[in-house]
Structure 1
């Protein structure tokens, strides 16, 4: 009967016994590997979070403008989910168009919902332009 200790080779150094890749990553070819450009998607995600969070301080509910509150909340949550999918699954296609459509809606919402000239109008227009710009320069989906 053998035990764990008796099956081990203690005379050969560990670095020569190890079979397989080294325990540290090989960074020798890091510059030759293609890297996805995730900065624009990260900016879109942060803008979507700001869109949801900013609905409260702008006081839509206090002014009785539930349509503006729900517009920003639903658009922000949808943008955050779509962008998270694009960040986690880079090969998925079709979500770039959804991002562009939601940014276009943010640009049109003040006119359609008749916000008037308020801070919420400037917030939606600025975020719409930022998201549309980041969606245009963002990574293209790569076929798998």
Structure 2
């Protein structure tokens, strides 16, 4: 038989104990993850779209590899960020990879092709989602 007193934690100071009322509702948590989910889907799109756009057929291996490697890196960073919300320092990495998508057509000289339009559109989408995404908490 337990009593009210035996169920209480008297060894941890009150200001350190977790309070269930301080936790955000599930809807708020899901709303904070939505921009990161969109970034992940955009990363998957980068990897998948490199074949249908025919980068290799045009002889543009650099465009193909740029999008494939950037998409995989974005997917890995976003998965880490989604699984570990307390992890800090990933927003600048996401922003840097999105910035690369915006300048890659100029650096690698794609010309105005479907790959350029794809990179610019996905880069703008990812930068927007990174800016609207959850704030990072340092430990």
Category of TM-score, reference length = shorter chain: 0.7 to 0.9
Higher helix share: 2
Aligned to 2:6: none
Please state whether the residue corresponding to 1:38 is helix, strand or coil.
helix
Q: Deviation at 1:33?
A: 2.8
**Corresponding position: 1:116 with 2:111:** yes
TM-score scaled by length of structure 2: 0.79
Q: Work out which of the two has the higher radius of gyration on C-alpha atoms and give 1 or 2.
A: 1
Across the aligned residues of Structure 1 and Structure 2, the Cα RMSD in angstroms comes to: 1.6
Cα distance in 2 for partners of 1:126, 1:93 equals: 26
**Corresponding position: 1:33 with 2:26:** no
Cα distance in 1 for partners of 2:138, 2:53 equals: 42
Aligned to 2:102: 107
Aligned pairs for 1:80-91 (under 5 A) are 80-91=75-86
Gaps of 5+ in 1: 1-28
Q: Deviation at 1:126?
A: 0.3
Q: Deviation at 1:64?
A: 1.0
Cα distance in 2 for partners of 1:126, 1:104 equals: 12
Aligned pairs for 1:29-108 (under 5 A) are 33-34=23-24, 35-36=28-29, 37-108=32-103
Cα distance in 2 for partners of 1:67, 1:128 equals: 17
Q: How many residues align?
A: 116
Gaps of 5+ in 2: 1-19
Q: Deviation at 1:103?
A: 0.4
Cα distance in 1 for partners of 2:127, 2:69 equals: 17
4+ residue runs over 6 A deviation? none
Please state whether the residue corresponding to 1:83 is helix, strand or coil.
helix
Cα distance in 1 for partners of 2:137, 2:91 equals: 12
